[in-house]
Structure 1
Amino acid sequence: MTVTEPTVVLAGGGTAGHIEPALALADAVLRLRPRARVVALGTERGLESKLVPARGYELELVPPVPLPRKLTPELLRMPGKVRESVKRTREVLDRVGADVVVGFGGYVSLSAYLAARGRVPIFVHEANRHAGLANKVGARFAERVFGAADGTPLPRAETIGIPLRRSITALDREALREEARAEFELDPDAPTLLVFGGSQGARSLNDAVSGAARELAEAGIGVLHAHGPKNTLAVREFPGAPAYVPVPYLDRMDLAYAAADAVLCRSGAMTVAEVSAVGLPAVFVPLPHGNGEQALNAEPAVKAGAAIMVDDARLTPEWVVEHVIPLVSDKSRLATMGAAAVGLGHREADEVLAKIVLEACGG
């Protein structure tokens, strides 16, 4: 008897928050079924056009369907764009022999859900506390719906956490610390603050932390600061003090997490999940615009004592001096917060979802 290996199609594009959980699921599927085929849907302009091939997965491009939030002339042109994208997506599903479609939201998910409806099983994963339009539509006819945390506003949502890369969930920060600090040329012994504002950086974080560089140096604190590839960051060196290391981008987040004792960052769903999984005490600075979901993402960590949160408008060099320096200098407080962070995560979400998806494929 010949066993047919399954084909899993993933839809999650536009931002890393949609793509990274999809790729973590892809890794878990192949760990469980090494001969399975995983195909990702994406658009030419989405971040998936770089991230998916870099991780070694097939990428099928379909026309994007940006979803306007307001009544605009673009909305009147939507039906035609949706029909064309759904048609092209359906052709991809037929050509690759899709056994299941798993959507994570974003531009391509709406087309994937509509193309797969009535043809192959559909599963929806929502990472945020405010669901996007694509996942709201997909959840109406999905076999099962999954959320990152309790209170996911989709019908029948089951809480499983966010699928994360094994390089994160299996990270031993202590074992990797010496290598990580050497990689970034950080002081091997000084308490160290990691700063990043997402893939493109964040000006308010850059200005606030770099503006406190002298005080951080005087407190004996090292800094690893990812300022974003489109930004520049010049920081004065203070002889004899731990290094303040600015970098445009962090390719190895596992090493960055291992090098740090605490982190100051935005609070996207993926970021909060990763920081919690590795047990890093955090200072979360939610995006000051949008629908407020980043503040909601950070709330469980704050309530658990694993993080503190500050509004973007309040983040100044003076605030860093008053609040961040005492935190990073306090080993006992860091240990307590780190232990609280670890208890928040769903470290097996990738394999939990992979097993459900493979069962839907017949094995």
Structure 2
Amino acid sequence: MRVVLAGGGTAGHIEPALALADALRQFDPSIGITCLGTERGLETRLVPARGYELALVPAVPLPRALTPQLLTVPGRLAGAISAAGGILERVGADILVGFGGYVATPGYLGARRKGVPIVVHEANPRPGLANRLGARLTTHVFTGHPDTPLPNAEHVGIPLRKDVSTLDRFSLGDKARSYFGLESDRPTLLVFGGSQGARSINNSALNAEPYLRRAGIQVIHVIGPKNTVEVEPPPGDPQYVILPYVDRMDLAYAAADLVLCRSGAMTTAELTAVGLPAAYVPLPHGNGEQRLNAEPIVRAGGGLMVDDAELSPDWIMRNLAPLLHDPNRIAAMSEAAARMGRKDADVTLARKVLEIAAR
């Protein structure tokens, strides 16, 4: 069997595709897997690192408004569709699974042209343009959020990496804290803003650093690979560890008692899967989907939510410092978060894809 996966640009599109690829290979190591991507996306680094073939098509960003750029889209899209169709034909694709992003649109249209069955997976509660199009071309539509408004949608959750979905935070806690140079018995806050970091979260946490230390709280702060810190916190105890990027997010999750972060679909799916409570700071612009991701977790008692404009060092000290010193409340929030998680979406979606391809 030959499966082509189309999901590029951001980690939120690529990681579920790679998790599905891993699950498919677990069912049958002989399955051929090719990932469609563009030369500008993170897939150029992430896909080869996981051992899968990457085939590139031209990137065709679709304008969200009526601008002169819209006039150039049909010609560029036609070239991308032709390139995607050529890849499907070359590998002898039995099925195409799309996850959204720039590469999904030519993937869907190329598959339609070549008569290749299409599967759509949408991680977000508000689907993007590519997946809204893809859902019109197939009846095989799966979602990461139960209320995503797409026709024929079936909620399966978001496929996650095995090192996250199988993580036992509590048995790995001491080892994980040692990995980051932390003490085993101090309350630990993990701070990150997604794959690229978030300036408002970075600034608020860094400015709260002296207060967090005085409260006996140690911190792992992932600032994002493109961000810098004007003034590094001085060495001392408790530790305040600043990192540009973390490859072992499973260990970061195992080391933490609480997280301060954005509420993207992948982030909320991973934190609930591992049962880790968080203070969510939804992205203040866009279509509001990050708030929708966090709201059910907060309602269930698995997290807090604060508007980006309200986040400050004072908010962190008033809300997170007391929480980190309340193990009973942290334990209750962990259990509530875990009840919202889905650990098996990769296997569930892989079974669906194999059944559809077989038919």
Q: Residue type matched to 1:209 in 2? A: A
- How far residue 260 of structure 1 moved from its aligned partner, in angstroms, is 0.4
Partner of 1:43: 38
Cα distance in 1 for partners of 2:189, 2:138 equals 42
Post-superposition Cα deviations, 1:184-233, rounded to whole Å, max 9, x if no partner, equal 10111101000000122111111111111111111111100001122223
Partner of 1:358: 354
Partner of 2:91: 96
- How far residue 148 of structure 1 moved from its aligned partner, in angstroms, is 0.9
Q: Please say if residues 177 and 255 of structure 2, whose CA atoms lie closer than 8 Å, have aligned partners that are also in contact.
A: yes
Is 1:206 paired with 2:202? yes
Partner of 2:117: 121
SS in 1 for 2:25: helix
SS in 1 for 2:103: helix
Cα distance in 1 for partners of 2:137, 2:228 equals 47
Cα distance in 1 for partners of 2:62, 2:187 equals 44
Partner of 1:63: 58
SS in 2 for 1:120: coil
What is the 5 A alignment of 1:106-185?
106-117=101-112, 119-185=115-181
Q: Please say if residues 288 and 311 of structure 1, whose CA atoms lie closer than 8 Å, have aligned partners that are also in contact.
A: yes
What is the 5 A alignment of 1:76-95?
76-95=71-90
- How far residue 238 of structure 1 moved from its aligned partner, in angstroms, is 6.4
Partner of 2:243: 247
Is 1:237 paired with 2:223? no
After TM superposition, the structure 1 stretch with the greater mean CA deviation from structure 2, 117-126 or 158-167, is: 117-126
Cα distance in 2 for partners of 1:260, 1:72 equals 46
Partner of 2:341: 345
Partner of 1:21: 16
Q: Please say if residues 276 and 344 of structure 1, whose CA atoms lie closer than 8 Å, have aligned partners that are also in contact.
A: yes
Cα distance in 2 for partners of 1:309, 1:128 equals 18
Post-superposition Cα deviations, 1:21-79, rounded to whole Å, max 9, x if no partner, equal 00000000000011111100000001111110111100000011101101111111111
SS in 2 for 1:8: strand
SS in 2 for 1:177: helix
Q: TM-score, normalised by structure 1?
A: 0.96
SS in 2 for 1:77: helix
- How far residue 361 of structure 1 moved from its aligned partner, in angstroms, is 2.5
State, as a whole percentage, how many aligned pairs show the same letter. Answer: 59
Cα distance in 2 for partners of 1:343, 1:152 equals 20
Cα distance in 1 for partners of 2:165, 2:235 equals 36
- How far residue 319 of structure 1 moved from its aligned partner, in angstroms, is 0.6
Q: Residue type matched to 2:50 in 1? A: R
Cα distance in 2 for partners of 1:169, 1:113 equals 29
Partner of 1:3: none
Gaps of 5+ in 2: none
Cα distance in 2 for partners of 1:251, 1:298 equals 24
- How far residue 143 of structure 1 moved from its aligned partner, in angstroms, is 3.2
Q: Residue type matched to 1:345 in 2? A: G
Q: Residue type matched to 1:27 in 2? A: D
CA RMSD of aligned residues (A): 1.1
Cα distance in 2 for partners of 1:266, 1:139 equals 28
Matched positions, count: 357
Q: TM-score, normalised by structure 2?
A: 0.97
SS in 2 for 1:188: coil
Q: Please say if residues 275 and 341 of structure 2, whose CA atoms lie closer than 8 Å, have aligned partners that are also in contact.
A: no
Gaps of 5+ in 1: 1-5
Post-superposition Cα deviations, 1:219-275, rounded to whole Å, max 9, x if no partner, equal 111100001122223343364x32110111111000100000010000000000001
Is 1:188 paired with 2:184? yes
Cα distance in 1 for partners of 2:153, 2:94 equals 22
SS in 2 for 1:305: coil
Q: Please say if residues 272 and 342 of structure 2, whose CA atoms lie closer than 8 Å, have aligned partners that are also in contact.
A: no
Q: Please say if residues 7 and 13 of structure 2, whose CA atoms lie closer than 8 Å, have aligned partners that are also in contact.
A: yes
Cα distance in 2 for partners of 1:23, 1:143 equals 23
Q: Please say if residues 200 and 230 of structure 1, whose CA atoms lie closer than 8 Å, have aligned partners that are also in contact.
A: yes
Post-superposition Cα deviations, 1:128-179, rounded to whole Å, max 9, x if no partner, equal 1111111001001113101112110111110000001111010011111121
Q: Residue type matched to 2:66 in 1? A: L
Is 1:276 paired with 2:272? yes
Is 1:315 paired with 2:322? no
SS in 2 for 1:107: coil
Is 1:298 paired with 2:297? no
Is 1:8 paired with 2:13? no
